[in-house]
Amino acid sequence: MSIAAALSNALSGLNASARQAEVLASNVANATTPGYAKRSVQLSSASLGGQGQGVRVTGILRHSDLFLLNDRRAAGAALAESSVRASFLTRAEKIIGTTETPGALVRLVQQLDTALLEAASQPQSAARLSSAVLAAKDLASGLNIASAALQQERSRADSQIGSLVQRLNEGLKQVEALNSHIASYAAAGQDVSALLDQRQAITDEISQIIPIGEIPREGMRIALVAPGGRMLLDGRAAEFEFSPVHLVVADMSLESGSLSGLRLNGREINMSTAAGPVRGGELAGLFAIRDEMAVKGQQLLDAFARDMIERFSAPGLDATLPAGHSGLFTDVSAVFDPQQEPGLSARIRINAALDDAAGGSAFRLRDGLGALSPGQAGDSALLSDLAQVLGVTRNSSSPSLPGSFSLPVLAATVLSEIGSQRLSAEREQSYESARFIALTDLEAAGGVDTDDEMARLLTIEKAYAANARVLQVVDDLLKTLLGL
């Protein structure tokens, strides 16, 4: 080997060691950076005319397990959906109110029961009659407030869907652009590891919104596919469309066309299919709130409101009322129509004959809603019947809540239904969280190991020192030649 060849080999060794040290330092510095994948330097021997010319750096390898990555993203999407569902049901339970919550449905029913019994014990007391009327008004108002809160949840979900769809489209466009940059720079022999990290981070964000699978393509590009095989990105990014309405009321639904569905490249997506592209992820959770869960909560409240109206409008309960007229509660100011049950909890009111603000008077709670003037002050018959009717077990007329209930039991059933759904959603959330953490830890185990990096640093240091020693020997040889 000539002195020139020895010098060339040693210099290439120094360059390779320096490049390895640079990449190793980047690994250690980014050991806890989300989305960062471990790098390693790829080396190969260099030769010219069959003679060794040292070592050359052929590229930087980014270590990533695609199968594990897809599994982790799927688990993250499932966790995002279950978290959205559990969070809503927690809020819904607060809207209905637990037994300890002031203004809760069950407590308002108890207060009405107590007020009617107290009024029946002293029917001549105007204060107790007014208290009973106020308790009835509070119960109707409580249903109005709960219904409005559920519709606000639907409105919020509708608005959030619009924001997520915008983010989803932006993310797909960004991945499309990064695909192009990565392919171009890689073809020019440049290191694209940082761009790959950026693309993975954006793809991870997309996978929280909607489940996706990543498929490698030529030129280090990737394709993204949704559940059911819908291509979201393969060369060009797909485009989602959604038209938020922002204000949702009880009778609005996807089926009626008053609420927007999701379109992909101009084509409607079937939101009800289990194999559709929106199956899992935060987007699916928000659609479930708007179109299913909050609707179910509204149906429970409407069933309760219907029972209240029908219970206190029973024939023969109030002899002063003509048949078919509303009793203690009304649908706004009209007689309840069974075909108009949706949204009833938002419309229920106390009968105007009892409401001072509408020209009514509390004495009619004792003497009858059709009474034109006060009757005998000591007559408690109607008050006792009203208190008894509240506790009577009767068959529910609503298909949303079939069975036989007293009004207190019906209120407790509504709360129990929401509570059981919350507990089920929280169990699902805990399971998905554990699965996501396990896969994240497994992915991290294949990432940067600082102990291993430090051990490799010692090897690099020794190689660098050895090549430097070769340079020193070559320098000594050259000095000897020059000194002859």
Residue 259: which of 269, 245, 270, 271 has the closest Cα? Answer: 245
pLDDT at residue number 92:
95
Would you give the distance in Å from CA 433 to the centre of its chain? 13
Beta carbons within 8 Å of 51's beta carbon, 6+ residues apart: 5
Three-class HEC string of 143-208: HHHHHHHHHHHHHHHHHHHHHHHHHHHHHHHHHHHHHHHHHHHHHCCCCCHHHHHHHHHHHHHHHH
pLDDT at residue number 48:
67
pLDDT at residue number 165:
95
pLDDT at residue number 219:
87
Buried b (16+ CB within 10 A) or exposed e, 139-152: bbbbbbebbebbbe
pLDDT at residue number 151:
96
Token representation of residue 46: 């260099």
Per-residue pLDDT of the chain (484 residues; tens, 9 = 90+): 577 777 778 787 788 788 778 777 877 877 777 767 777 777 777 776 666 677 877 766 676 777 888 898 999 999 999 999 999 999 999 999 887 788 899 999 999 999 999 999 999 999 999 999 999 999 999 999 999 999 999 999 999 999 999 999 999 999 999 999 999 988 888 888 889 889 999 999 999 999 999 999 998 899 999 887 889 999 899 999 999 997 999 889 888 889 999 999 888 887 665 556 677 899 999 999 999 999 999 999 999 999 999 999 988 898 888 887 889 999 987 888 889 999 999 999 999 999 888 889 999 999 999 888 888 888 899 999 999 999 999 998 898 889 999 999 999 999 999 999 999 999 999 999 999 999 888 877 776 777 777 888 888 888 888 878 888 887 778 788 787 7
End-to-end alpha carbon distance in the chain: 21
pLDDT at residue number 49:
64
pLDDT at residue number 149:
95
Instruction: Give the number of other Cβ atoms within 10 Å of residue 432's Cβ.
Output: 21
pLDDT at residue number 323:
80
Beta carbons within 8 Å of 182's beta carbon, 6+ residues apart: 192, 195, 196, 199, 219, 220, 221
* DSSP string over 309-365: HHHTT-TTS-TTSPTT---SEEETTBPPPGGG-TTHHHHEEE-TTT-GGGT--TTHH
pLDDT at residue number 420:
94
Can you give the pTM of this predicted structure? 0.86
Would you give the distance in Å from CA 320 to the centre of its chain? 53
pLDDT at residue number 453:
73
CB 245 within 8 A of CB 259: yes
pLDDT at residue number 478:
79
